[in-house]
C-alpha cells in the first residue's frame, strides 16, 4: 500500500474533523504529502467520514494523477495540490465548512487579531474571492491571498488551513474557528479591541517555541 503512514494520518484527522464539529457529513477535505513531496494522500470525494476506511484514502501524484485507490479524490484537489506546491514547508491541508469561519466568509469579512490565538493562522486571515467549488479559479484565488499565512477564508464557502503536518493544519482550523466565533460574538454587542502588529509579532515568535 502506497503512503500507509500518510493515509493513516489522513483517516485519523478525517474522523477528528467530524467529531470536533468542524464539518458535517462528507463536507471538507484533507491532504498530506510524503516528505519528498512526490505523492499525496487525500480524502475521497463524497464519502461520509464515519464509514471511511484506510482503503478509501486516495493516493495521487503532485500533478493530480491517481496512483492508488478505488474512489475519486476530493473535488477540491486543485487547491490541495497548488498550496502544497506553493511553499516548500507545506505538507498538509485541511479544508472545513465550520460555522463561524464560514459565516465570516459569507460576509466577506477578513478575520482581524481579536484574540492572540489567531497567531496559528497569521496576524489576520484574508478572504479569497468567490469562485465555484472544485475549480482552478478557486485554487488561484486562494493562492493569491495566502502569502505567508497558514489560513484563508473562502468567500461564501469555508476555511482552508495549511501546515508542516496535519496536526498543525488541523489545530489551526480549530483555532481560526474559535477566533471567528469570538469575533462575531464581540461584533454583535460592540467594537472589539484588535491586537497591534507588534503584539502579534511577539505572539507568533512565542508560538515558534511552543511545545518544543
Task: Report strand pairing: 151-154 vs 127-128.
Answer: parallel
For Zn ion, the closer CB: 69 or 158: 158
Residues 6+ apart with CB under 8 A from 36: none
Rg (CA), the chain: 17
Q: Which listed residue (76, 174, 191, 202) is catalytic? A: 76
DSSP state of 132: -
Helix (H, G, I), strand (E, B) or coil at 191: coil
Calculate the alpha carbon distances from 34 to 106, 135, 141, 164 in Å: 34, 24, 25, 11
Helix (H, G, I), strand (E, B) or coil at 152: strand
Give the nearest distance from C-beta 133 to Zn ion in angstroms: 6
Give the nearest distance from C-beta 154 to Zn ion in angstroms: 7
CA distance 13 to 174: 12
For Zn ion, the closer CB: 42 or 203: 42
Give the nearest distance from C-beta 1 to Zn ion in angstroms: 27
Residues 6+ apart with CB under 8 A from 63: 81
**What residues make contact with Zn ion under the rule CB under 5 A?**
158
36 part of the active site: no
For Zn ion, the closer CB: 102 or 117: 102
Give the nearest distance from C-beta 138 to Zn ion in angstroms: 9
For Zn ion, the closer CB: 113 or 141: 141
Catalytic residues: 76
Amino acid at each position: 500500500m502506497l503512503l500507509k503512514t500518510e493515509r493513516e494520518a489522513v483517516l485519523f484527522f478525517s474522523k477528528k474533523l467530524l467529531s470536533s464539529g468542524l464539518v458535517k457529513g462528507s463536507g471538507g477535505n484533507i491532504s498530506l504529502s510524503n516528505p519528498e513531496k512526490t505523492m499525496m494522500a487525500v480524502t475521497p470525494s463524497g464519502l461520509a467520514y464515519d464509514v471511511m476506511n484506510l482503503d478509501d484514502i486516495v493516493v495521487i501524484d503532485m500533478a493530480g494523477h491517481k496512483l492508488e485507490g478505488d474512489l475519486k479524490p476530493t473535488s477540491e484537489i486543485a487547491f490541495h495540490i497548488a498550496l502544497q506546491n506553493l511553499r516548500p514547508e507545506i505538507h498538509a491541508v485541511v479544508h472545513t465548512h465550520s460555522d463561524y469561519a464560514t459565516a465570516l466568509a459569507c460576509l466577506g469579512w477578513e478575520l482581524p487579531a481579536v484574540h492572540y490565538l489567531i497567531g496559528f493562522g497569521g496576524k489576520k486571515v484574508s478572504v479569497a474571492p468567490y469562485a465555484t467549488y472544485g475549480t482552478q479559479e478557486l485554487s488561484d484565488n486562494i493562492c493569491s491571498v495566502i502569502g505567508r499565512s497558514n489560513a484563508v477564508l473562502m468567500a461564501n464557502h469555508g476555511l482552508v488551513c495549511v501546515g508542516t503536518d496535519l496536526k498543525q493544519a488541523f489545530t489551526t482550523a480549530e483555532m481560526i474557528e474559535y477566533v471567528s466565533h469570538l469575533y462575531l460574538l464581540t461584533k454583535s454587542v460592540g467594537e472589539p479591541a484588535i491586537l497591534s502588529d507588534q503584539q502579534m509579532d511577539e505572539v507568533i515568535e512565542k508560538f515558534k517555541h511552543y511545545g518544543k
